[in-house]
Amino acid sequence: MATHATGDGGIPPRDAAQRGLKRVMTLGGAYGTRNYTVRDLRDLKGKRVLTETLPFSAEEAVAAEEAGIDLMKVRFDPKRPDLAAEIRKAAPHTFMSFSVPLVAAATEAEAVRIGYQAMELGADAIMCQWSPRFVAAAAEAGIPVEGHAGLVPRKSTWTGGLRAVGKTIDEALWVYQEIRKLEDAGAWAVEVEVIPAELLAQISKRTSLLTSSIGAGGGGDIQFLFAEDILGNNGPPYPRHTKQYRNILKMKQAMQAERVAGFKEFVQEVRSGRFPAPEHLVKAPEGLIEAFVDMADKKG
Active-site positions? 193
The three state secondary structure string of 38-83 is HHHHHHCCCCCCEEEEECCCHHHHHHHHHHCCCEEEEECCCCCCHH
* Cβ neighbours of 35 (radius 10 Å): 19
- Give φ, ψ of 53 to 5 degrees: -145, 170
How is residue 244 annotated by DSSP? -
Tell me the three state secondary structure of residue 128: coil
**Cα dihedral 70, 31, 45, 151 sign:** positive
Nearest alpha carbon to residue 146 among 157, 155, 138, 154:
138
Nearest alpha carbon to residue 229 among 217, 213, 240, 216:
240
How is residue 140 annotated by DSSP? H
12 cis-preceded (ω within 30 degrees of 0): no
List the beta bridge partners of residue 146.
Answer: 127, 189
Say if CB 95 and CB 36 are below 8 A apart: yes
Burial (Cβ within 10 Å: 0-12, 13-18, ≥19) of residue 6: buried
**Intra-chain end-to-end CA distance of the chain, in Å:** 68
